[in-house]
Amino acid sequence: MFAKLKSWLNGTPALPEGWAEKLIRDTPLLAVDLELTSLDIAEAKVTSIGWVEGGDNSINIERCGYHVIRTSGDLAQSPVIHGLTEEALTEGMHIRDVLAELVPFAETHLWLCHNAALDLGILKRVFNDTGIVCPDIVVLDTLKVAVYQLKKHYDVLPSNSANLSVCRQRMGLPAAPAHNALDDAMATMQLWFAQNQALNRAKNIAIGDLMHTQAVSCKKMEKS
CA proximity to 92, closest of 112, 107, 75, 105: 75
Q: Which of residues 100-139 bind another protein (CB under 8 A)?
A: none
From 183, 206, 214, 218, residue interacting with another protein (rule: CB under 8 A)? 183
Q: Going by C-beta distance under 8 Å and a sequence separation of 6 or more, which residues neighbour residue 184?
A: 33, 50, 114, 164, 178
For the CA atoms of 100, 101, 106, 109, the dihedral, rounded to the nearest 10 degrees, stands at 180
By CB under 8 A, tell whether 82 contacts another protein.
Answer: no
For the chain, the maximum distance between any two Cα atoms, rounded to a whole number of angstroms, is: 52
From 5, 40, 43, 63, residue interacting with another protein (rule: CB under 8 A)? 63
Count Cβ atoms below 10 Å from residue 10 Cβ, excluding itself: 12
From 4, 13, 38, 66, residue interacting with another protein (rule: CB under 8 A)? 66
Q: Which is nearer to another protein, 56 or 136 (CB)?
A: 56
From 20, 36, 44, 52, residue interacting with another protein (rule: CB under 8 A)? 52
CA proximity to 120, closest of 55, 191, 7, 34: 34
By CB under 8 A, tell whether 85 contacts another protein.
Answer: no
Q: Which is nearer to another protein, 50 or 79 (CB)?
A: 50
The residue ranges that bind another protein (CB under 8 A) are: 25, 50, 52, 56-67, 172-174, 176-177, 180, 182-183, 185-187, 190, 193-194, 197, 201, 203
